[in-house]
């Protein structure tokens, strides 16, 4: 993949195409739910609009649960000059170019990224009525699927498959989606080249043993599907960093080793 992708923690993902940066579910709390708060290092960058956030042109949220979204942190970003575009289902702060395709699906454009946003049902009966969307992102000539916390179905896969033409370069899923037969059938229809497992907390926050469960899912994954890759926290996928990160001699990497990442500033 040519796109540079950074994974923080929980479901936080950042995409850089050489010109613009897109952040997905990257401003959050979550420790109260057995996940992790936004790392202090990145929260500090957000407060100053530096580092990663100096290069953030669009912000997406799949839904507004605290392990994916935090309003106070988003406010910090939007209070700065040159605010990025923002989009999320039922999100008041949304200000992006939106074109509805049908009642449950729209196309969102922001900073060179084209996002197919589709209403999907959040996994878990008590969350079924909470606004939630999954995204198919076309950016820099590559296509990525973001599942959020959806209970994925074959119908969802058919709606997403082939929308931009060509292959889906990578999909990002949680452990329950990858463990379920319905989620695996979804993958057989969407057919992403690479399957990444995300939505895991830092080790010290892992009170429900999600990381152990994730390793079990990866070991037992069907052999007819792509190998599951569990993304390391606070790292660039395949070790390929954005050029501005390299120019600063590993600003993000340096912060990982010397800064406590657990406490959020927001």
pLDDT tens-place values along the chain, 266 residues long = 999 999 999 999 999 999 999 999 999 999 888 999 999 999 999 988 899 999 999 999 999 999 999 999 999 889 877 889 999 999 999 989 999 999 999 999 998 899 999 999 999 999 999 999 999 999 999 999 999 999 999 999 999 998 998 999 999 999 999 999 999 999 999 999 999 999 999 999 999 999 999 999 999 999 999 999 999 999 999 999 998 886 655 444 434 333 344 444 44
* DSSP structure string for 159-204: HHTTSSSS-EEEEEE-HHHHHSHHHHHHHHHH-EEEEEE--B--GG
Q: Select from 75, 73, 89 the least CA-distant residue to 146.
A: 89
Query: What per-residue confidence (pLDDT) applies to 248?
Result: 57
Count of H helices and E strands in the chain? 8, 14
The first and second tokens of residue 203, run together, are 């080790």
User: What domains can you pick out in the chain, each with its CATH number?
Assistant: 4-258 (3.60.15.10)
CA dihedral sign of residues 259, 261, 262, 266:
positive
Q: How far apart are CA 67 and CA 74, in angstroms?
A: 14
- The pTM of the full predicted model, rounded to 2 decimals, is 0.93
Angle, in degrees to the nearest 10, between helices 40-48 and 71-78: 30
142 CB neighbour count, 10 Å cutoff: 20
Query: What per-residue confidence (pLDDT) applies to 247?
Result: 63
Q: Where are the alpha helices (DSSP H) in the chain?
A: 40-48, 71-78, 154-160, 175-179, 181-190, 210-219, 243-247, 251-258
Q: What SS3 state is found at 209?
A: coil
| Alpha-carbon distances of 122 from 48, 69, 92, 116, 154, rounded to whole Å | 33, 15, 20, 17, 15
Q: Select from 76, 55, 60 the least CA-distant residue to 26.
A: 60
Phi, psi of 188 (to 5 degrees): -65, -25
Query: What per-residue confidence (pLDDT) applies to 63?
Result: 98
Half-sphere exposure of residue 180, counting CA atoms within 13 Å on the CB side? Answer: 15
């Amino acid at each position: 993949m040519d796109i540079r992708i950074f994974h923080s923690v929980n479901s936080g993902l950042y995409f850089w195409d050489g010109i613009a940066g897109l952040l997905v579910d990257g401003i959050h709390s979550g420790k109260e739910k057995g996940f992790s708060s936004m790392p202090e290092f990145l929260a500090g960058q957000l407060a100053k609009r530096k580092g990663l956030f100096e290069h953030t042109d669009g912000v997406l949220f799949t839904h507004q649960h605290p392990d994916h979204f935090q309003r106070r942190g988003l406010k910090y970003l939007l209070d700065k000059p040159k605010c990025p575009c923002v989009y999320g289902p039922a999100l008041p702060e949304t200000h992006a170019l939106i074109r509805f395709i049908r009642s449950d699906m729209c196309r969102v454009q922001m900073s060179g990224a084209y996002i197919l946003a589709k209403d999907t049902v959040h996994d878990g009966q008590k969350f079924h009525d909470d606004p939630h969307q999954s995204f198919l992102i076309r950016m820099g000539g590559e296509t990525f699927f973001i599942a959020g916390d959806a209970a994925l179905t074959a119908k969802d896969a058919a709606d997403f498959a082939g929308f931009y033409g060509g292959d889906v370069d990578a999909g990002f899923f949680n452990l329950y989606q990858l463990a379920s037969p319905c989620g695996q059938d979804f993958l057989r229809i969407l057919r992403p080249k690479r399957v990444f497992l995300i939505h895991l907390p830092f080790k010290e926050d892992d009170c429900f043993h999600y990381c152990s469960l994730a390793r079990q899912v990866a070991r037992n994954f069907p052999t007819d599907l792509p190998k599951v890759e569990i993304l390391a926290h606070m790292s660039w996928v395949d070790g390929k960093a954005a050029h501005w990160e390299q120019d600063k001699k590993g600003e993000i990497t340096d912060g990982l080793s010397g800064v406590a990442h657990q406490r959020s500033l927001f």
